[in-house]
Amino acid sequence: MKVLLIKTSSLGDVFHTLPAIEDVWQARPDIQIDWVVEEAFADIPTWHPAIRQVIPIAWRRWRKQLWRSSNRAEMAHFWRTLRREQYDVVLDAQGLLKSAMVARMARGERIGLDRDSAREPLASRFYQRRIAIATGQHAIPRLRQLFAEVFDYRLTGDIRYGVDKARWSPPDIDKPYWVFLHGTTWVTKYWPEAYWRTLAERVGELGMQVCLPWGNDEERQRAERIAEGLSAVSVLPKMGLNALNAYLAHAQAVVGVDTGLSHVVAALEVPAVTIYGATDARLTGVKGAQVQVMSSTLGCAPCLSKTCLKPDNGAIQAPCYRDITPERVLADLMARVNSR
């Protein structure tokens, strides 16, 4: 059976889909999947052996200059690629108007969520078969249920991403190491810098190395402040996702915040703690067999605000992280690392 899967973005959404792909791979090994995904994430589907072909789409870039000749040429090429195959199933797992229109371009039976289940109800009008999946639950079980319904198999077992860590060679580090994913987009998602520093000191005292990646100047400067004067802490050079994955895949443990890279760690099944304060992990947060989500218990959390609504005496850092201490994070991870 040939299947075209449409799940274009974001980074977290792409990773949320991998457990459903693993389910299909185990239950229906006869199925071959082509995956339409945003160009920035085109490498990720190739990590799973069920994916036959990745078809990149550049809608985020195209929409900024729709009438530019080079963009029109790329869109025409994308349309021709999409039309080249006759599929048995064209599955829109995104549930948006833009993804439904992509499904409409392809050749095959169009299947997606019904109007009460899709994020944008009008998208359901583009499908020939509509599936009802209960809302109010995390994206991963919803996608697993959708795939099981479409491809007629019974869900069993826990969440597995099906990513083989052996595809990345271990970095040249001569002792166990932890990775701290301290960078994120909103100020209200930051775990206090003093907490990172304290945790780095404790991990170093236990004989492990700490690696600090970064993606922009602000993150680099934060990493340098955390590492200052600590011999067991290394600021990594700037690197792409594939190079960073080598560090993540072979880490003894990872500590992260609400950021796309934390979803990568969940897929790699490395012992990890992911910290949530202002944002909500219940519907789209990091989820995996080796991930412990620590969410704030402050009454106003999650506020989903990019600025703190209840600042603590004018402090820069949001107070919702006060109860997620370095000691708590360290105790959780050390217990799980020692039990392996």
Residues 193-225 pLDDT 10s? 999 999 999 999 999 999 999 999 999 999 999
Q: What confidence score (pLDDT) does residue 292 get? A: 96
Cα–Cα distance measured from residue 323 to residue 4, given in angstroms and rounded to the nearest whole number: 45
Q: What confidence score (pLDDT) does residue 315 get? A: 54
- DSSP run (H or E) holding 112: strand 107-113
Q: What is the mean pLDDT of residues 117-129?
A: 97
Residues 60-85 pLDDT 10s? 999 888 889 999 999 999 999 999 99
Q: What confidence score (pLDDT) does residue 304 get? A: 83
Residues facing 235 on adjacent strands: 212
Residue whose pair of structure tokens reads 């919803």 in the numeric block: 142
pLDDT band of residue 310 (cuts 50, 70, 90) is confident
Q: What confidence score (pLDDT) does residue 102 get? A: 97
Residues 79-102 pLDDT 10s? 999 999 999 999 999 999 999 999
Q: What confidence score (pLDDT) does residue 214 get? A: 96
Do 89 and 35 meet the contact criterion of CB atoms below 8 Å apart? Answer: no
State the average pLDDT for the chain: 94
Cα–Cα distance measured from residue 251 to residue 273, given in angstroms and rounded to the nearest whole number: 13
Q: What is the mean pLDDT of residues 110-120?
A: 97
pLDDT band of residue 318 (cuts 50, 70, 90) is confident
Tell whether the model's pLDDT for residue 252 goes beyond 80: yes
SS3 82: helix
Tell whether the model's pLDDT for residue 23 goes beyond 70: yes
Which burial class, exposed, middle or buried, applies to 299 when counting CB atoms under 10 A from its CB (0-12, 13-18, 19+)?
exposed
Cα–Cα distance measured from residue 25 to residue 174, given in angstroms and rounded to the nearest whole number: 36
User: Between 306 and 182, where is the model more confident?
Assistant: 182
What CATH number is given for 167-339 in this structure?
3.40.50.2000
CATH entry 3.40.50.2000 includes domain 2-151: yes
Residues 38-50 pLDDT 10s? 999 999 999 999 9
Do 262 and 288 meet the contact criterion of CB atoms below 8 Å apart? Answer: no
How far CA 292 is from CA of 23, 57, 266, 272, 328, in Å, comes to: 22, 33, 10, 6, 12
Cα–Cα distance measured from residue 190 to residue 102, given in angstroms and rounded to the nearest whole number: 36
How many residues in total does the chain contain? Answer: 340
Residues of the chain with CATH 3.40.50.2000: 2-151, 167-339
Residues 222-249 pLDDT 10s? 999 999 999 999 999 999 988 999 999 9
Q: Which residues, other chains included, contact 31 with Cβ-Cβ below 8 Å and sequence gap of 6+? A: 1, 3, 24, 25, 50, 151
Q: What confidence score (pLDDT) does residue 298 get? A: 85
Cα–Cα distance measured from residue 251 to residue 274, given in angstroms and rounded to the nearest whole number: 15
Cα–Cα distance measured from residue 92 to residue 108, given in angstroms and rounded to the nearest whole number: 12
Cis peptide before 302 (omega within 30 of 0): yes
Q: Which residues, other chains included, contact 298 with Cβ-Cβ below 8 Å and sequence gap of 6+? A: 277, 319, 320, 322, 323
Which residue type, as a one-letter code, is found at position 88?
Answer: D
Tell whether the model's pLDDT for residue 266 goes beyond 60: yes
Cα–Cα distance measured from residue 114 to residue 89, given in angstroms and rounded to the nearest whole number: 16
Tell whether the model's pLDDT for residue 123 goes beyond 60: yes
DSSP state of 177: E
Residues facing 272 on adjacent strands: 254, 291
Which residue type, as a one-letter code, is found at position 187?
Answer: V
Tell whether the model's pLDDT for residue 334 goes beyond 90: yes
Q: What is the mean pLDDT of residues 281-296?
A: 93
Tokens of 124: 């359901």
Q: What confidence score (pLDDT) does residue 317 get? A: 64
Helices (H) and strands (E) in the chain, counts: 11, 12
Q: What confidence score (pLDDT) does residue 301 get? A: 84
Q: What is the mean pLDDT of residues 1-24?
A: 95
Q: What confidence score (pLDDT) does residue 313 get? A: 59
Tokens of 216: 């922009």
